[in-house]
Amino acid sequence: MIGEGLHEVPPGCVAMVVTHLEMKAPARLRGAPLPEGLTFRAVAPDLAWYRDIFDRVGRDWLWFGRRQLPDAALTAILEDPGVRLFTLEKAGRAEALLELDFRQENECELAYFGLTDALIGSGAGGFLMDRAIEGAWQEGISRFHVHTCTLDSPQALNFYIRSGFTPYRRQVEVAEDPRLAGLLPEGSAPQVPLIR
């Protein structure tokens, strides 16, 4: 356990405060309409598709968890019947990632949720969250959960709370900076300074 006060983060690393949130009953849906020109659809597992959308949604927020997985390990997750993928398409191109993970009995993790720059501010996030809540709870689960961190979009935590999730746990995570590890270009997430 970390005590109060400042704690050194080693050079070459990033530190983030991770907030865990949960929903123990279906939240009220926003009723957000599908923005004009978008299509919502389920996606069959495809490694190249997934790596592309994961990068385009998450690069600015230093999403690196799935980037460090070898192809075989990531394919095993994507092809697991307990993992379901969805997207919003604009002009035939995926511009959102919704990943629901039912591999834990009676639970669903909102494993990944995000939009590319093409959809941010369009209202698509509210529509996509309604689909996430519906999709999770239609499986008879007892708990829907998600986590976010201080490297993610500044709107993420409040968005999850407004969507009906309740914060229940906070942690500090220190990890090798994915830009210095070669997982992301060094110019990614300029709002997070590189400290070598």
pLDDT tens digits, 79-123: 999 999 999 999 999 999 999 999 999 999 999 999 999 999 999
Residues paired with 194 in a beta bridge: none
User: b vs e for 76-114, b when ≥16 Cβ sit within 10 Å of the residue's Cβ?
Assistant: ebbeeeebbbbbbebeeebbbbbbbbbeeeebbbbbbbb
How confident is residue 39, by pLDDT bands cut at 50, 70 and 90? Answer: very high
pLDDT attached to residue 110: 98
Residue 99 and residue 55 in contact, taking contact as beta carbons nearer than 8 Å: no
pLDDT tens digits, 53-87: 999 999 999 999 999 999 999 999 999 999 999 99
Model confidence at 28: pLDDT above 90: yes
Q: What burial class does residue 151 get, using C-beta atoms within 10 Å of its C-beta: 0-12 exposed, 13-18 middle, 19+ buried?
A: buried
Model confidence at 45: pLDDT above 90: no
How confident is residue 186, by pLDDT bands cut at 50, 70 and 90? Answer: very high
Q: Where are the alpha helices (DSSP H) in the chain?
A: 47-58, 71-78, 124-137, 156-162
Domains by residue range for the chain, with CATH: 33-169 (3.40.630.30)
Specify the amino acid at residue 135.
G
Residue 85 and residue 42 in contact, taking contact as beta carbons nearer than 8 Å: yes
pLDDT tens digits, 135-171: 999 999 999 999 999 999 999 999 999 999 999 999 9
